[in-house]
Structure 1
Amino acid sequence: MQHKEIKIQAFSESAFHSLGFALQRMEDHYRSTHGKPDVPHRHDYYTILFIEQGEGSHSIDFTEYQIANNTIYFIQPGQMHQVVLMQEPKGWIITFTEEFLIANSIPDKLIRDIYLFNDYGQSPPLPVAERDMPVYRNLIDQMEHFTSSLENYPMEAAGSLIKLFLIQSNNNCSLHKNDNPQLTETTNHILRHFKQLLDRQYADTHKVSDYADALSVTSDYLNKTVKSITGKSAKDHIQSKLIIEAKRALLFSELSNKELAYSLGFEESAHFNNFFKKSTGLTPSEFRLMAHHS
């Protein structure tokens, strides 16, 4: 099948873009596209898929998840994703921009502290217990009501409801982590700042020791702390981040392998090629060719 160009969808292509917030029923979106399978794409805004009923698959940064009832997906700006549905779903698509968060005093710390919008190839859906579904339905009903009927301050109303939605989701997510006695404010702080550093410096250094030094801890402590929360060591996160960024660049850019290797902080393209093949089983050229012809 001929590969279609993978595009970055800007928020201006969404409804209510002047608010930096949009809400759409999944069934309406499905009908408007005549049920055609989604194509891989990225957004420059946050996306939440709240699926009450559905069957199919959802790929986020090259990891495929089976769609199930009563699940929520959280997608960061820049993450590649693709939804393939087997039948008409029931649910909601919630989208909002970074500017929307700022305008509504929703701090960046909240987004980073909660483990909902993840990266580095780990963005699993959040299952919602049946007893919690009325809470979510009520929040979404209010979002729909206020953004469609209020003449004054609809953005502020939506902002308050999004904040409640995220807090409710974080509380549900936290239920899966409360059994871990090592999950303390200190470990949260270290993980949060490690991820911030990694987002900024993944191309500058690939060494755990450099991140540990920046956080004033030992490499061993950083590895163990990160693993106690995420199940992956700091080294694993660094490598996953590099692989994800490499895959994105291979799909979205025209960089040569040598240029890509240099942009990711590899001094030798051969080293990058070996690293990529060890992680994926394919050379960068093979991955690009396969992706563009799939």
Structure 2
Amino acid sequence: MPISNLKTHYARNFQKSNFNILKLEDLFKAENTNAITKNHKVDFYTLLFFTNGIGKHSIDFTDFNYRSGSILSIRKDQIHKFYLNKETEGFLLCFKEEFLNSYLNTIEVARSIQMFNELLISPKTQLRENDLAGVLRLVMAIENEIFNIRDKFSIQIIRSLIHLLITLIYRIKAEGHNKIQLNKYVKEFIKFQNLLEKNYTETKKVFDYAIKLGFSTKKLNTIVKFVTNKSAKNFIDDTVIVKVKSTLLHSNFSIKEVAFKTGFNDPTSLYKYFKKHTNSTPEEFRKQYKI
């Protein structure tokens, strides 16, 4: 069975404004938790706030440890899974891009999306005690509006509260990160990243992307190295490997079909490429993670 794409599990009660909030302890006590403890994808952005307990959460096959004050940012279509822990408490806030676009300006939407870009900012943020108190006040106010007050003013108030929440988290993340990196080369890097997402099946060559962007290969390498601490070639390879892994686990395609769908001329080319970058064969990887 391939990776599930959860559209109706913990997001089945999405509000009309394309967002939802629930307590993690309620999610973990739900009757059907099998789906969320397996690798899955969702078509929205997720913020996990942990207020109690120690555990871990998997994002793109990497485990992130959490404790009180940890926040995890998960962008839409990332592969992730929960590890159940009855002592864990906190909140899960999820929303779609349409929600952001409905009340934020273009720059604010871009900043919000950047907050979920694991290549620009780590998915994990550990809050200081003072920051945690401020974040929790906003989250609990949102929860109160949704589940208790629910009057004709609630949606507008919720939007304002989430605006404040996202801005606060973005500021906290920026304070704990290289501020220069958040500004210098970000526009150019995101253009490259978006171009790669659309064209990785057509070409995996640095030169081709540099030409499309109007850069020299040296400039493209400088941009990618500054943001990710990787060469452009390594970044391309890492992106392709993530795509191959996702295709392997999110489908029942044969290895031959996976090869063609991810831009390889034949299964042998895929096999060599995948083995080189993961130390396992596509078959071994699928067997290890297949649900």
Q: For this structure pair, what is the TM-score category when the shorter chain's length is used for normalisation? A: 0.7 to 0.9
Superposition pairs for residues 38-187 of structure 1, below 5 Å? 38-105=37-104, 107=106, 110-111=109-110, 115-118=114-117, 124-148=123-147, 149-178=149-178, 180=180, 183=181, 185-187=183-185
* Structure 2: unaligned runs, 5 residues or longer: none
Aligned-pair CA distance for 1:58: 0.9
**Distance in 2 separating the partners of 1:286 and 1:112:** 38
Contact 1:11 1:45 in 2 (8 A): no
**Distance in 1 separating the partners of 2:56 and 2:237:** 26
Question: 1:245 — aligned with what?
Answer: 243
Cα gap change, 1:11 to 1:222, in 2 (>3 Å): farther
Letter in 1 for 2:199: Q
**Distance in 2 separating the partners of 1:184 and 1:74:** 17
**Distance in 2 separating the partners of 1:109 and 1:269:** 43
Question: 1:276 — aligned with what?
Answer: 274
Aligned-pair CA distance for 1:118: 2.4
Contact 2:259 2:267 in 1 (8 A): yes
Question: 1:211 — aligned with what?
Answer: 209
Aligned-pair CA distance for 1:250: 0.8
Aligned-pair CA distance for 1:160: 2.6
Query: Is the counterpart of residue 31 in structure 1 residue 35 in structure 2?
Result: no
**Distance in 2 separating the partners of 1:223 and 1:161:** 40
Cα gap change, 1:264 to 1:48, in 2 (>3 Å): same
RMSD: 2.7
**Distance in 2 separating the partners of 1:10 and 1:64:** 23
**Corresponding residue SS for 1:14:** coil
TM-score, structure 1 as length reference: 0.87
Question: 2:19 — aligned with what?
Answer: 21
Contact 1:55 1:87 in 2 (8 A): no
**Distance in 2 separating the partners of 1:213 and 1:31:** 52
Question: 1:10 — aligned with what?
Answer: 7
Aligned-pair CA distance for 1:112: 5.9
**Corresponding residue SS for 2:157:** helix
Cα gap change, 1:176 to 1:208, in 2 (>3 Å): farther
How many residue pairs were aligned? 288
Instruction: Render the CA deviation track for 1:142-193: whole Å, top value 9, x for unaligned.
Output: 211222313225333333322322221221121233465xx37451211121
Contact 1:25 1:92 in 2 (8 A): yes
Cα gap change, 1:184 to 1:73, in 2 (>3 Å): closer
**Corresponding residue SS for 1:77:** coil
Contact 2:220 2:232 in 1 (8 A): yes
Cα gap change, 1:233 to 1:177, in 2 (>3 Å): farther
Question: 1:256 — aligned with what?
Answer: 254
**Corresponding residue SS for 1:204:** coil
Aligned-pair CA distance for 1:109: 6.6
Cα gap change, 1:54 to 1:221, in 2 (>3 Å): farther
Cα gap change, 1:115 to 1:227, in 2 (>3 Å): farther
Contact 1:49 1:91 in 2 (8 A): yes
**Corresponding residue SS for 2:264:** coil
**Distance in 2 separating the partners of 1:10 and 1:104:** 24
**Distance in 2 separating the partners of 1:144 and 1:106:** 24
Aligned-pair CA distance for 1:242: 0.9
**Corresponding residue SS for 2:123:** coil
* Structure 1: unaligned runs, 5 residues or longer: none
